[in-house]
Homo-oligomer: A and B are copies of this chain.
């Protein structure tokens, strides 16, 4: 019985996290309240504070879960040793395009990057959230940087490039491209921007 109670608690907590990710991604951090998250999760508002001290604490847990999902579905399958460094960057842009296009098809809206959205909306309002998004961007940059290091080592990239700056630039271009797609409510700019980012770094010749 104790074990079942524990499972049910885990389930309520997981449902709150899933609802927070879904609602805040579709709307915004400020626009979504604890009440709406509880309703979407099917959890009584009175129980909320048994799991989380605040909306902020829930969103930080949600960012951790969103990051694990992002790694598993976008980054890990893109940054695999079976692909060349160039193909890994191309795969990242292609997967981001597929995910945002699927969300547009389902909801009618390009919702943007959950991390980029929170970075833009909450960085000046909420220090712990800024810090958690910064951590996600730092990890993301290191993953890109590992591919750039490999391409520098093999001599396929211009040796005067800094791996760190190149990785940060690629993540900036990707984040900016997702923002362009969101404001246009149209993901079609993403493949062209991804292709150009790779082509200007590696040269126009196909891999």
Give residues in A with beta carbon < 8 Å to B: 26-31, 109-112, 116-117, 119-125, 130, 133-134, 137, 158, 160-162, 165-166, 168-169, 171-177, 179-180, 182-185, 189, 192-193, 196-197, 200-201, 204
Contacts and interface: CB of A to CB of B under 8 A. Distances in A.
Contacts of A130: 183, 185
Contact of A121 (B110, B121, B180): B121
B180 A172 contact: yes
A27 B124 CA distance: 6
Given A112-B120, A193-B165, A183 B27 contact: no
**Copies per complex of this chain:** 2
A121 B120 contact: yes
Contacts of A196: 161-162, 165-166, 169
Given A28-B29, A123-B185, 18 more contacts: A28-B124, A30-B30, A110-B123, A112-B124, A117-B120, A120-B179, A120-B182, A123-B183, A124-B182, A130-B183, A169-B173, A169-B177, A172-B175, A172-B180, A172-B189, A172-B193, A173-B176, A175-B179
Nearest to A164: B192
For the complex of A and B, the 4 pairs showing the least CB-CB separation, nearest first, are A172-B176, A30-B30, A176-B176, A120-B120
Nearest to A30: B30
A189 B200 CA distance: 20
